[in-house]
């Protein structure tokens, strides 16, 4: 077996791809071993929302495996170039998908108040609900700037962006930006105010 390993390590990347395509697992393993450092280097500059560096390395490894399995030696490109493109594409795709998922709550409405209790709610449930609402708003208040505090107060009173703009002396776009920041803080810190 050691003879096979020493022979495998002497093949070029392109030859190893051909062997891997014919079902030689040892050829694929040799390429993974050769390119593991490149995988780490490609993954290092990226950040995966909701993940860690090991998740990115795993995505990069999927890119490498795709390169090994899809490399066509009849094209002019070297395997190294093809592998780096596949690795980087896989990482970028993972980062883009994670960012899209991370911002999914922003695409949905994020209520500032808890759901209404039905008429069958007991006085204790109503009291607990009000206490939870107060606690949520207090926690949120610690995250807001003074402008965001004013905008949120007026927004919860039902004022339009135009009316809020006049009250705080800021352009409508500034009010809209403040509301979006508030929504992100609500979504990021507490998720949607959920039922307890």
Report residue 33 CA to chain centroid gap.
Answer: 28
Residue 189 CA to residue 18 CA, distance in Å, equals 51
| pTM for the model | 0.49
Q: Which residues, including other chains, have CB under 8 Å from residue 47's CB and lie 6 or more apart?
A: 95
Query: In the chain, where are the structural domains located?
Result: 2-102, 107-190
pLDDT tens for 137-156 read 677 678 888 898 888 888 77
Placement of tokens 């809020």 in the chain: 164
Give the class (CATH, top level) of 2-102: mainly alpha
Over residues 33-51, mean pLDDT:
80
CATH architecture of 107-190: 3-Layer(aba) Sandwich (3.40)
């Amino acid at each position: 077996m050691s003879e096979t390993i020493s022979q495998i390590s002497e093949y070029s990347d392109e030859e190893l791809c051909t062997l891997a395509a014919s079902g030689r697992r040892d050829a694929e393993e040799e390429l993974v071993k050769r390119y593991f450092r490149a995988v780490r280097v490609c993954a290092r500059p990226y950040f995966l929302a909701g993940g860690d560096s090991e998740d990115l390395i795993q995505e990069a490894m999927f890119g490498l495996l795709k390169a090994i399995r899809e490399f066509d030696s009849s094209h002019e490109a070297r395997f190294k170039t093809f592998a780096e493109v596949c690795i980087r594409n896989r990482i970028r795709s993972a980062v883009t998908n994670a960012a899209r998922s991370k911002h999914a709550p922003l695409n949905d409405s994020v209520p500032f108040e808890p759901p209404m209790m039905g008429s069958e709610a007991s006085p204790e449930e109503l009291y607990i609900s009000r206490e939870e609402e107060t606690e949520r708003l207090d926690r949120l208040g610690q995250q807001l700037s003074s402008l965001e505090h004013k905008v949120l107060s007026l927004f919860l009173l039902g004022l339009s962006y135009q009316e809020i703009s006049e009250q705080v002396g800021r352009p409508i776009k500034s009010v809209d930006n403040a509301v979006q920041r508030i929504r992100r803080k609500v979504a990021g810190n507490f998720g949607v105010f959920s039922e307890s």
